[in-house]
Chains A and B, each alone.
Chain A
Amino acid sequence: MVAAVRQLGSRTTQVVADLGSMALFLLEVLRDAVTPPWRLRNVVDEVYKLGVLSLLIISVSGLAVGMVLGLQGYNTLVRFGATQSLGAVVGLSLVRELGPVLTALLVTGRAGSATTAEIGTMVATQQLDGLRMMSVDPVDYVVAPRAIGMILVMPLLTALFIVCGIFGGWLVGVRLLGVDSGTYLTSLQSSVDLRDDLVSSLLKAVVFGVLVGWISTYRGYTSAPTSAGVSAATTATVVVASVSVLIFDYLITALWGV
């Protein structure tokens, strides 16, 4: 009993210490992001690595999800004779929930894990110490550009996911199942509100970008300098970031109705 309580206390202390360490790390990244030297070239490199190289997986996934939504939505709506609302079903599902959440999960798996592995490998091979010895702050040179890159690409990839999804729904609903194209687009246009839905969706994506960028860089930066340490950090990034995205999605939706 005493051992169990002691273990619980130890774990709680560890979690609190970890959260405190993460908060300090975030403050350091924010400070380096807003103070010179500006690492614009590094940020552009990261936008390319995190964003451009994710285009294919985001496009294909968005298309597939949109096609499934089109099919499932049609099968349900046809029972009520409401297939003219297919555009609204596909659009609202994608814009309000599936777009930002699935994009964040996909980016976590593809780019977040890569970010952790890359920084973790730099720790293990003493590249970060090498930077320190050259009087270059690794948080400023390595971490901040990756975190900023993640925040920048997340809303853009979310927008791409939504567009591909809407196109996928159109392909199935209109080309395959015979819904009128004008009806699909009108239903979509009338149901999706620019400010309430689209802007809020992109803001949600920004929050997810902060979360994934923060967790993936922190896990890499604090990983043990061994191959097992890098592996564990990469796994932790995928698990913690994915769960955080889902929890924050619920919180944002519950608190702000987005």
Chain B
Amino acid sequence: MATGAHVELSHVSMAFGDRPVFTDLSCTFPAGGVSVVLGGSGSGKSTLLRLIAGLIRPQTGRIVVDGEDVTRCSERDLFRVRRQLGMLFQGGALLDSMTVFENVAFPLREHTELDERTIADEVHDRLEAVGLHDVDGLLPGELSGGMVKRVALARAIIRSPAVLLCDEPFSGLDPISSKRIEVLLTQINRARGITTVVVSHDIDSTMRMAERVLLLLPGGCFEGAPDELRASADPRVRAFLSSDLDALPEAS
């Protein structure tokens, strides 16, 4: 259940060259809950995740993650902050020269003194949690899209992060794989109480799993519980949620 803000953006403005992505964006993601960022392609959803992760910096504004303002952190400090973060990238971002086992074990080998037997137990526990068996020796190139995302999810949660960031976890997947990832994310959130921020343009999946939704539209940003947004009187919100192309505002 969500309690308090775990990730908070205050008056964030971000632009790539002359193209603004956000102007004075403020929003919060509650601790322990599943929050979903919805919006069309190019609305800045993935940029928002990268800002939270400190992979890029905004022109103005504050981004507080787990009590730390990542916009003021040095690169070294960011490495410390990111130990509390896990990220599921859109393409998985698995190290392609390593096997599945080595990929999932990588954060433990880098940051802990655990012996190999304990690491193996932890890795198999996480792979089991995402429904994968007997894949230890496979390379990322030998996996299906859904398997890549599940391995990446196992790697993202191997060190029990406080915040899990998921960039388009359902994109490019068939309905079954998409549903499996959705169930997994919900289960992991409930079992481990990880603050989960999911970026997606899949309205059905995200509205089912979200406790809080941030909707990024060309005309503005809307925040609320799924039912609140569904009941919204704003024509832009209604148009997006009903996928009514004609009623949507033009992207700037």
Distance in angstroms between the alpha carbons of A131 and B94 in the assembled complex = 9
> A127 at the A/B interface (Cβ < 8 Å)?
yes
Contact across chains for A137 and B79 when beta carbons are under 8 A apart: yes
Are B82's CB and A129's CB within 8 A?
no
Contact of B85 with A133 in the complex, beta carbons under 8 Å: yes
Asked whether A129 lies within 8 Å of B79 as measured between CB atoms, the reply is: no
Partner of A125, one of B82, B87, B91: B91
Chain A stretch 136-152: residues in CB contact (< 8 A) with chain B: 136-137
Q: Is A130 an interface residue (CB 8 A)?
A: yes
B110 touches A126 (CB 8 A): no
Least CB distance from A130 to B in Å reads 3
Interchain CB contact (< 8 A) of A134 among B50, B78, B96, B110: B110
Tell me which residues across on chain B come within 8 A of A127, comparing CB atoms. Answer: 93-96
How close is B59's CB to chain A, nearest CB, in angstroms?
19
Determine the chain B residues whose CB is within 8 A of the CB of A126 once the complex forms.
89-91, 93
Task: Please give the distance in Å from A102's CB to the nearest CB on chain B.
Answer: 30
Contacts of B89 in A (CB 8 A): 126, 129-130
B110 interface neighbour in A129, A132, A136, Cβ under 8 Å: A136
Residues of A within 8 A of B222 (CB): none
Q: Across the interface, do A132 and B95 meet the contact criterion of CB distance under 8 Å?
A: no
Q: Give bound CA distance, A126 to B95, whole Å.
A: 9
Taking CB as reference atom, which chain A residue is nearest B90? A126
Q: Is A135 an interface residue (CB 8 A)?
A: yes
Identify the closest chain B residue to A141 (Cβ).
Answer: B110
Say whether, besides A125-B96, A127-B96, A129-B55, A134 and B91 are in contact (CB < 8 Å): no
A133 to B78, CA, bound (A): 9
Is the pair B82, A133 in contact by a Cβ cutoff of 8 Å? Answer: yes
Report Cα–Cα, A76/B95, bound state, in Å: 56
Whether the pair B91, A135 counts as a contact (CB closer than 8 A) is: no
Do the beta carbons of A129 and B111 come within 8 Å of each other?
no
Q: Bound complex: CA of A61 vs CA of B80, how far in Å?
A: 49
Q: Which A residues are in CB contact (< 8 Å) with B80?
A: 135
Q: Residues of B contacting A135 with CB < 8 Å?
A: 79-80, 82-83, 107, 110-111
State how many angstroms separate the Cβ of B110 from the closest Cβ of chain A: 6
Determine if B53 is an interface residue (Cβ-Cβ < 8 Å): yes
Contact A133:B87 (CB < 8 A) given known A125-B96, A127-B96: yes
In the assembled complex, how far is the CB of residue A239 from the closest CB belonging to chain B, in whole angstroms? Answer: 27
The docked-state distance in angstroms from the alpha carbon of A137 to that of B83 is 13
In the complex, which residue of chain A has the Cβ closest to the Cβ of B89? A126
Cβ < 8 Å to B, chain A residues 106-144: 125-127, 129-137
A211 CB, min distance to chain B CBs, angstroms: 26
- In the assembled complex, which residues on chain B have CB atoms less than 8 Å from the CB atom of A136? 79, 106, 110
Let me know if A133 and B91 touch, CB within 8 A. Answer: no
B33 close to chain A: CB less than 8 A: no
In the bound complex, what is the Cα–Cα distance between A56 and B80 (angstroms)?
44
Q: Nearest Cβ in chain A — how far from B216, in angstroms?
A: 21
Chain B contacts of A133 at CB under 8 A? 53, 55, 82, 85-87, 93
The answer for the CA separation of A163 and B55 in the assembled complex, in Å, is 48
Additional pairs, 17, CB under 8 Å, beyond known A132-B78, A136-B106: A125-B93, A125-B96, A126-B90, A126-B91, A127-B95, A129-B93, A130-B89, A132-B55, A132-B82, A133-B53, A133-B85, A133-B93, A134-B111, A135-B79, A135-B82, A135-B111, A137-B79
Q: Which 9 A-B pairs have the closest CB atoms?
A: A130-B93, A126-B93, A135-B79, A133-B87, A134-B107, A135-B82, A126-B89, A135-B83, A127-B93
Which residues of B are interface residues toward A (Cβ below 8 A)? 50, 53, 55, 75, 78-80, 82-83, 85-87, 89-91, 93-96, 106-107, 110-111, 155
| 29 residue pairs from A and B, CB less than 8 Å apart | A125-B93, A125-B96, A126-B90, A126-B93, A127-B93, A127-B94, A129-B55, A130-B87, A130-B95, A132-B53, A132-B55, A132-B78, A132-B79, A133-B82, A133-B87, A134-B82, A134-B107, A134-B110, A134-B111, A134-B155, A135-B79, A135-B80, A135-B82, A135-B83, A135-B107, A136-B79, A136-B106, A136-B110, A137-B79
